[in-house]
Amino acid sequence: MPQLIPFYFINQLSFSFLTLLALIYIISKYFLPLFTFQQVIRMYITKLNNK
Amino acid sequence: MFGNQQYNIINSPLEQFEVTSLLGLNAPILGYLNISLTNLALYSLLVLFIIVSLHYMANNDTKLVPSKWSIALESVFASINSMVREQLGKELYLPFIYSLFFFILIANLTGNIPYSFTITTSIMVSIGLSFTILIAVTILGLSIHKLHFFSYFVPSGTPLALVPLLVLIELVSYLARAFSLGIRLFANMVAGHTLMKILATFLYQMFSGSLIVAVLTLIPFTLFLAIMGLELAVSFIQAYVFVILTCSYIKDAIELH
Amino acid sequence: MSFLGLRKWPTPVAKPLWPFIAAGTITYFLVAKAQDMGVKSEAYAKDPRNPYAAQIAKESHH
């Protein structure tokens, strides 16, 4: 079974972990706050409108 | 009409899962370090690039009316946010869960493109990730509750005579979580891709026969297209199930019930 | 690198992630041991695809 060939185990593991870490960093610092910011702005404008 | 037919001899349908090195670097330092760009590494970088560019394209610059890209992304964000808040009560783990969901989803989807490599079909990625998540959740529970964490293995309201047996059963089922989470994802992806490879090989042989056989092969071909649609659905479902179970395990460690 | 015109927000990254990083290093060491055992075993030591063939040949000569 080709998944059990041991030559590149560490390679596979480190690349997937590094990709996931870089992804978590980029998403949490640059992209996720934009979503929350947009919801906050919409809530703010709705409240201003309801006054 | 028969011309020069060349048959590619394919050894087994499992050959598509081999991790091969594309660019190797063998250096006799630090104990024969071997850094190589394998096909799995290339595809995981591609997955990273796709996710970052998807989010960049959908950046609506906080306009009130969402564009087509941002409707999809905002609805995904809202559903994952509501799931995390419902299970955990706080948003501290939202970036991790969100990134995990997108990583598995885009990894599965890029694997559905013909002739590409699915990174979640590798044991190290799927089962390594689930093993890491289980150990991390145990460390988290131990650091929050110290020794009271082990009261998780004794369900409330059991008679005292049954406690040793029940603790053993609960312990085994807790340790099995490490592997069940990863094997679910791994087995679904490997089985789906192996099935598609086998069917595609048969259909190719039938399509390259005579004209009548080729026209009749269109009927099994529609079945094959339905199975490809099933694979697309399975990619989404497996990503969702992985993420919701991770949330549930984190909740078990934080709240011990 | 990703400052493609986007602002950087002060989201806490280490606070939720430290157990996962610790577990990741534990998994890394376990897999390194498994890989060492597998690469030096009978079935794979002489495999032509083995990138560690030179190292194993040197060690077996000592």
CB contact A10 to C (< 8 Å): yes
Q: H-type helices in B115-162, by residue range?
A: 123-145
Question: How far is the C-alpha of B166 from the C-alpha of A29, rounded, in Å?
Answer: 44
Q: What is the pLDDT of residues A6-36, one digit of tens each?
A: 888 998 999 999 999 999 999 999 999 999 9
**Within a domain: B232:** yes
**Within a domain: B15:** no
Residue of B1 and C15 predicted with greater confidence: C15
Structural element, H or E, at residue A8: none
Three-state secondary structure call for residue B65: coil
Question: How far is the C-alpha of C11 from the C-alpha of C6, rounded, in Å?
Answer: 14
DSSP secondary structure letter of residue B52: H
Question: How far is the C-alpha of B146 from the C-alpha of B143, rounded, in Å?
Answer: 5
Give this prediction's pTM: 0.91
| Segments forming the whole domain that contains residue B133 | 36-56+66-254
Contact list, C9 vs chain A (CB under 8 Å)? 29-30, 33
Q: Which residues pair with B27 in a beta bridge?
A: B33
Q: What is the pLDDT of residues B157-212, one digit of tens each?
A: 778 888 889 899 999 999 998 899 999 999 999 999 999 999 999 899 888 888 88
pLDDT, residue C58, reads 67
pLDDT, residue B1, reads 45
CB contact C52 to A (< 8 Å): yes
Q: How many domains does chain B have?
A: 1
Q: Which amino acid is at B237?
A: I
Residue whose C-alpha is closest to residue A31's, from B74, B64, B47: B74
Contact A13, C31 (CB under 8 A): yes
Q: What number is the ipTM of this complex?
A: 0.93
CB contact A15 to C (< 8 Å): no
Report residue B256's pLDDT band, with 50, 70 and 90 as the boundaries: confident
Would you say the C-alpha torsion B10, B16, B17, B22 has a positive or negative sign? positive
